[in-house]
Amino acid sequence: MEHVLERATLFRDQVFPSQSALYKRLASDGQNPRALMISCADSRVVPEQITQAAPGDLFVCRNAGNIVPPFSQANGGVSSAVEYAVVALGVRDIVVCGHSDCGAMKAFSNPAALEKMPNVAAWLRHAHAAHSVVCSAYHGLDEKAAARATALENVVVQIQHLRTHPSVASAMARGELTLHGWFFEIETGNILALDGETGRFVQVTEGASLPVAVPAAPRLAAADQFRIAAE
């Protein structure tokens, strides 16, 4: 079987011709994606595949564990992608997408493997809250169930982290941004979505409305203060 990198001409020669109009338009008009998706680097979870997205549809940030570090002074690639998507591209939806059998989430139960990967160990600190929740609030889970629970709680944690970013907090306060927490099940092709109302993940079904983590709605904590003051 040919090596994947040897197929670099296959696309241009056999696929591009039928999509050249789209690509040329995207090249001349620039991109205008509808959503930012933050997902795992895992080779089995292809964001454009599971959303059946076309080129130009999704701004995509991928890293080990679909992690979003909280806003801070030393932020890096994920924070930049979030800021660029919200401020420069004006996306109206952000999806944090976890998945089953995630190597990053399973690493919490394998400290020995992490010793050889100090960068990964440091990076997983941003998912430590999920691990900590599972350790202290769930009971009686075997290793596999614990990994799944960690992956699900990790989506919740990363949604919290997203909200600490000024660009996200501002767009949310203006009611212009919806946050989604997804979980892709490799073995079934199912997507579970976090329902912010109940705090639980539910399977996405056709026809039913898509559950969201935080719906778009203006949020002004001090609004009353000034209405009162104005009267």
Specify binding-site residues for Zn(2+): 40, 42, 99, 102
**102 near Zn ion, rule: CB under 5 A:** yes
CB 94, CB 35: distance < 8 Å: yes
- Nearest distance, CB of residue 109 and its own copies, angstroms: 14
- Nearest distance, CB of residue 128 and Zn ion, angstroms: 16
**90 near its own copies, rule: CB under 8 A:** no
Nearest to 212 by CA among 151, 159, 165, 166: 159
**143 near its own copies, rule: CB under 8 A:** no
Which of Zn ion, its own copies, none does residue 152 bind (CB under 5 to 8 Å by kind)?
Answer: its own copies
* Segment contacting Zn ion by CB under 5 A, of 41-49, 67-75, 117-125, 134-142: 41-49
Contact pick of 90, 125, 143, 197 for its own copies (by CB under 8 A): 125
Q: Concatenated DSSP letters for 176-218?
A: --EEEEEEE-TTT--EEEEETTTTEEEE--SSSPPP-SB----
Contact pick of 21, 111, 222, 231 for its own copies (by CB under 8 A): 222
**68 near Zn ion, rule: CB under 5 A:** no
The CA distance from 44 to 103, in Å, is: 11
**12 near its own copies, rule: CB under 8 A:** yes
- Nearest distance, CB of residue 210 and Zn ion, angstroms: 22
C-alpha triplet 48, 31, 83: angle, nearest 5°: 85
Nearest to 158 by CA among 76, 67, 65, 40: 67
The CA distance from 23 to 198, in Å, is: 41
**105 near its own copies, rule: CB under 8 A:** no
**215 near its own copies, rule: CB under 8 A:** no
The CA distance from 165 to 59, in Å, is: 18
**40 near Zn ion, rule: CB under 5 A:** yes
